């Protein structure tokens, strides 16, 4: 039996031009309305107990689609049928009251997610335990850090026993250990028969939780199908978009970005944290970046990649997004660090590219090609990789 059935749905937004709010003045000045189709002709269904991922860049229509499924807005065209009670992590922490205690806020959040007050009170110990906040539930919420609020909000929304759980991009926040607990809990819910719809940018989360995926691009369902296949095509499409502005074969340092955060210094360090310009194969190194955030930036993505200096062959390409790591809020000056346990590269010169992207990859803050060059002194090879090896004959 299908919990969600979407049949050729489309969504049109109409807003006064120029970002104005609707008012008599807008009417009097005859500010026209702008039409924007956020979704076109999207159809799919989700069976009971199935979990579906929504992938796509910002503005691709994921949030609109989740709102339509949640019933908080209505599709302009097409038919939508959703069965069962819906709980959503769509607006995390909205409606929380900093002056009231965490306990009172948790009860309100549970009631808003569909429990009666009595049910909410019964589940409270479970919720507090999951959020690891049992000792501080009587404290006012204003004393909580963002991470604690998030844990509380997440704990509530997964403990209301929803038949259909909608999650919008929130798993990326919180520390890694709690993230892992959330993922495990979602797996349990899924296995117990909860239907899950998850909008996320993080391929590893999607592949772990969801059997099927929908890739939305400009409001259209580009691909619907097996997660691994859809995720691969989605990630491929990003890669093309990402490398497109790269200078073709240029050896000079190039920078790109809005510079909301600037990378002001970059160092390559050895095991003893000493700056180095040459390393031996198999040794561990660290890349350290000093940044200066001219304005606060939420959770940017840090990218570090290396290629050979001679012919630009990529050796590795790491970023915090695919690793599911949250950089957090950057404000003022600070330092970021990537540690590589070992670097099994062949003898030769290499270049590092580093960059900070906005949390949804939509724009680079500061991306520097060939920001740093270094040398590997070791085995000569025609290929960049020189794995540790031993020959033998018998």
Q: Which residues pair with 330 in a beta bridge?
A: 297
Confirm if 304 and 319 have CB atoms less than 8 A apart.
Answer: yes
| Closer Cβ to other proteins, 84 or 328, answer by number | 84
**E strands along the chain, which residues?**
2-16, 33-47, 51-55, 77-82, 86-89, 164-168, 195-199, 212-217, 220-226, 254-256, 261-269, 278-279, 285-298, 301-308, 314-319, 329-340, 348-357, 364-376
| Closer Cβ to other proteins, 27 or 377, answer by number | 27
Q: What's the min distance (Å) between Cβ of 200 and other proteins?
A: 18
| Closer Cβ to other proteins, 82 or 285, answer by number | 82
Q: What's the min distance (Å) between Cβ of 69 and other proteins?
A: 8
Q: For the residues of 280-307, what is the DSSP string, one character each?
A: -TT--EEEEEEEEEEEEEESPEEEEEEE
Q: Name the site residues for other proteins (rule: CB under 8 A).
A: 13, 15, 21-25, 27, 67, 70-74, 85-88, 90-91, 94-95, 97, 99-100, 104, 107-108, 111-114, 116-117, 166
| Closer Cβ to other proteins, 91 or 184, answer by number | 91
| Closer Cβ to other proteins, 81 or 91, answer by number | 91
Collapsed DSSP state (helix, strand, coil) of residue 4? strand
Confirm if 186 and 154 have CB atoms less than 8 A apart.
Answer: no
Q: What's the min distance (Å) between Cβ of 306 and other proteins?
A: 44
Q: What's the min distance (Å) between Cβ of 296 and other proteins?
A: 23
Q: What's the min distance (Å) between Cβ of 113 and other proteins?
A: 6
Nearest residue to 339 via CA among 315, 374, 304, 308: 304
């Amino acid at each position: 039996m299908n919990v969600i059935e979407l049949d050729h749905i489309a969504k049109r937004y109409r807003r006064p031009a120029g970002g104005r709010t609707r008012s008599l003045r807008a009417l009097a000045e005859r500010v026209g309305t702008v039409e924007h189709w956020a979704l076109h002709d999207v159809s799919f269904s989700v069976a009971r107990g199935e979990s579906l991922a929504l992938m796509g860049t910002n503005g691709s229509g994921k949030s609109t689609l989740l709102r339509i499924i949640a019933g908080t807005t209505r599709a302009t065209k097409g038919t939508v049928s959703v069965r069962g009670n819906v709980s959503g992590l769509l607006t995390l922490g909205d409606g929380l009251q900093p002056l009231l205690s965490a306990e009172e806020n948790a009860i309100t959040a549970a009631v808003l997610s569909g429990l009666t007050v009595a049910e909410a009170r019964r589940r409270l110990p479970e919720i507090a335990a999951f959020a690891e906040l049992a000792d501080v539930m009587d404290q006012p919420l204003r004393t909580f850090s963002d991470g604690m609020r998030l844990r509380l909000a997440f704990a509530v929304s997964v403990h209301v026993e929803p038949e259909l759980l909608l999650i919008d991009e929130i798993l990326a926040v919180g520390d890694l250990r709690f993230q892992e607990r959330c993922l495990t809990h979602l797996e349990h819910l899924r296995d117990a028969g909860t239907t899950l719809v998850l909008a996320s940018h993080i391929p590893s989360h999607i592949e772990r939780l969801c059997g099927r995926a929908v890739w939305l691009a400009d409001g259209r369902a580009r691909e619907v199908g097996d997660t691994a296949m859809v995720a691969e095509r989605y990630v491929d499409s990003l890669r093309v978009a990402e490398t497109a502005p790269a200078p073709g074969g240029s050896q000079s340092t190039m920078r790109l970005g809005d510079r909301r955060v600037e990378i002001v210094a970059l160092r390559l360090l050895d095991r003893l944290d000493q700056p180095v310009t040459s390393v031996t194969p198999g040794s561990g190194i660290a890349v350290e970046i000093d940044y200066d955030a001219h304005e606060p930036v939420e959770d940017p993505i840090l990218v570090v990649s290396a290629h050979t200096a001679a012919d630009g062959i990529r050796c590795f390409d790491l970023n915090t997004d695919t690793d599911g790591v949250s950089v957090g809020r950057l404000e003022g000056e600070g330092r970021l660090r990537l540690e590589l346990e070992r670097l099994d590269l062949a003898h030769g010169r290499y270049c590092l590219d580093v960059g900070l992207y906005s949390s949804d990859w939509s724009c680079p803050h500061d991306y520097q090609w060939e920001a740093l060059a270094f040398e590997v002194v070791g085995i000569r090879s025609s290929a960049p990789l020189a794995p540790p090896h031993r020959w033998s004959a018998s």
